[in-house]
Structure 1
Amino acid sequence: MSQNETGFQLALGERRFGRVNWLGLQTLAGREITRFLVVWTQTLLAPLVTAALFLLIFNLAIGPRRGDVMGVPFLQFLAPGIMMMTVIQNAFANTSSSLVISKVQGNIVDTLMPPLSGLEILLGYLAGAMVRGVVIALGIACGLAVVLGLFPAHPVLALLFVTLGAVFLGGLGIVAGVFAEKFDQMAAITNFIVTPLAFLSGTFYSVAALPPVLRSLSQVNPVFYLIDGLRFAMIGTSDAPIGLSIAVCLLASCSICALAWAMLQRGYRLKP
């Protein structure tokens, strides 16, 4: 190949290390994982303590007077919802905080300047969210096994829904982090979008007990299917068919990741 041809290909953007920059992707993913591991008391221990407090408070306030829900004790019904809520909140926080902090501190250029495509940046950020979500889920699962004697009825499905939850909210965190320019905007997105999605999705109740209008609203919330699917995987019962939950979660995760990919590829609100 002539020197002119080589220069022409490089001008078109062909990367000399192949179709995928594995070293760059690995480096970005490692950075995002290390980022939450170095402050594990805040990013891993604190969510585990919060989940335990939720279960303790509900047990003290409601548990003794509440009968079985969907054929299982109330705490066993509640546990999968608490687990998924904790996973998705931390997956969202991992990607959104990383982007917003980089933008505010002005070092987002360190991520944009290396030869990484939009897809590689997306996968690097999602890796951190997925690892953090899975580690938290495993920690909660171990606690549930020791304290409640609750073991997953379908372990593979449980891992699938935890991963999908981390991917969906990790992707949403990237979209929010790209859109937000400062911390108060990020706080508004968290308070008015993420928290309602988590709390109004069957975390603490069965949607079958809701009035028809509220039940219909809950069933268009993707987080409902994440929580309901994990509940089926943990205790073997759910409000929606498990096949429908998997399909909705896959579609929601792919859709939000496609949007995040497009924003990163264009450099929307990232490049001057």
Structure 2
Amino acid sequence: MSAYTALTGAGYRAQVRDRTTVFFTFAFPLIFLVVFGLIFQGRDVEESGLSYLSYTASGVLSWGVANAAVFSIGFTLMQWRVDDILRMIRMSPAPLSAVLGSRYVLALGVGLVQSVLFVGVAMLPGFGLVPASRWPLLIPVMVLGITTFLLLGVIVGSIADTPESVAGIANFLMLPMAFVSGSFFPLDAMPGWLQKVSLVMPLRYLNDAVSAALTGRGDLSDIGVGCLGLVVFAGLFGAVAVRTFRWTKTS
């Protein structure tokens, strides 16, 4: 068995055994979808005539996938460093690419399952959300989004040394970003200055690309702009992650 296969299998078993993590990873975004769907059922956003849910469903999905990516790798890196697992991995014959690749594949798998469950529920009668014919474009968008927020999670996990600090830093970044980027409320309803602030938030670009692919709001150029924004942030986060990454508590 290769190091990559062993690490991927171990990571998968660790994730499915933690029922609390499984619940919040998969059920939490669905709860948001159901709550928003019941509260705002039948309501339209004046500027476009689209349902309120059409604006927020893609944002809730984006936030759920991004949140899971940041928290999963952030907690993992912090715990591995505290337990000296990273140091042992560094001294072992297992290549670093196998370690990072296993975590990346697991994150992609989680994001894919989240997306399938979310879209399935969103298509149920009463929600008024039917994916456009180009919904397969959601797949590359999600891959880019997960990559970008995994790199942000690497930064969080490299800075933090306790579970509390991981949660604190991640929530400090992700919750305000969700509101400012339009995950829970339409950007059109926000003040102009907040809409400008959202342009420096990676979640804004993930929201826009997912919305264009999933609900048909916008066109292919909106998906392209969103993907380009994610590529830029992925490059930025990757550069910072390389500089902040620590194998041990001291280095």
TM exceeds 0.5?
yes
Kindly indicate whether residue 100 of structure 2 is the aligned counterpart of residue 155 of structure 1.
no
Contact 1:198/1:223, CA 8 A, preserved across alignment: yes
1:189 to 169, 185, 193: 169
Partner of 2:75: 97
Partner of 2:54: 76
Deviations 1:86-139 (A, max 9, x none): 111111121111122223344333433323454443333222222212211111
More divergent stretch after superposition (133-142 vs 23-32): 23-32
Structure-1 residue corresponding to 2:17: 38
Q: Distance in 2 between matches of 1:186 and 1:150?
A: 36
CA deviations 1:5-56 (Å, max 9, x no partner) are xxxxxxxxxxxxxxxxx933333333323321333x4334433332232123
- The residue aligned with 1:202 is 182
Distance in 2 between the 1:121 and 1:255 partners?
22
Cα distance in 1 for partners of 2:47, 2:60 equals 15
Alignment of 1:108-123 (within 5 A): 108-123=86-101
Deviations 1:34-87 (A, max 9, x none): 321333x43344333322321232234333555566342222332111111111
Which structure has the bigger radius of gyration? 1
Residue pair 1:95, 1:170 contacting (<8 A) in 2 also: yes
Q: CA RMSD, aligned part only?
A: 2.7
Q: Which amino acid aligns with 2:183?
A: T
TM-score (norm 2): 0.84
- The one-letter code of the counterpart of 1:187 is A
Contact 2:78 / 2:162 at 8 angstroms: preserved in 1? Answer: yes
State how far apart, in whole Å, the 1-side matches of 2:124 and 2:21 are. Answer: 22
Letter in structure 1 aligned against 2:62? M
Structure 1 counterpart of 2:7: 28
Equivalence for 2:27: 49
TM-score w.r.t. structure 1 length?
0.79
Give the CA deviation at 1:201. Answer: 0.6
| Structure 1 residues 130-183: Cα deviation after superposition (integer angstroms, max 9, x where no partner) | 221221111111212234362343233211121122111111112211211112
Q: Residues 156 and 262 (structure 1 numbering): CA distance in 2 closer, same or farther, change over 3 Å? A: farther
Q: Is the 8 A contact 1:92 1:172 kept in 2?
A: yes
Contact 2:141-2:210 at 8 Å conserved across structures: yes
Distance between the aligned counterparts of 2:102 and 2:111, measured in 1? 15
Alpha carbons of structure 1 residues 66 and 155: separation in structure 2 relative to 1, 3 Å: closer
Which shifted more, 67-76 or 88-97? 67-76
Return closer, same or farther for 1:184/1:111 CA change in 2, 3 Å cut-off.
Answer: same
Is the Cα contact below 8 Å between 2:78 and 2:163 reproduced in 1?
A: yes
Q: What does 1:126-141 align with in structure 2 at a 5 Å threshold?
A: 126-141=104-119
Unaligned runs of 5+ in 1: 1-21
| Paired residue type of 2:226 | S
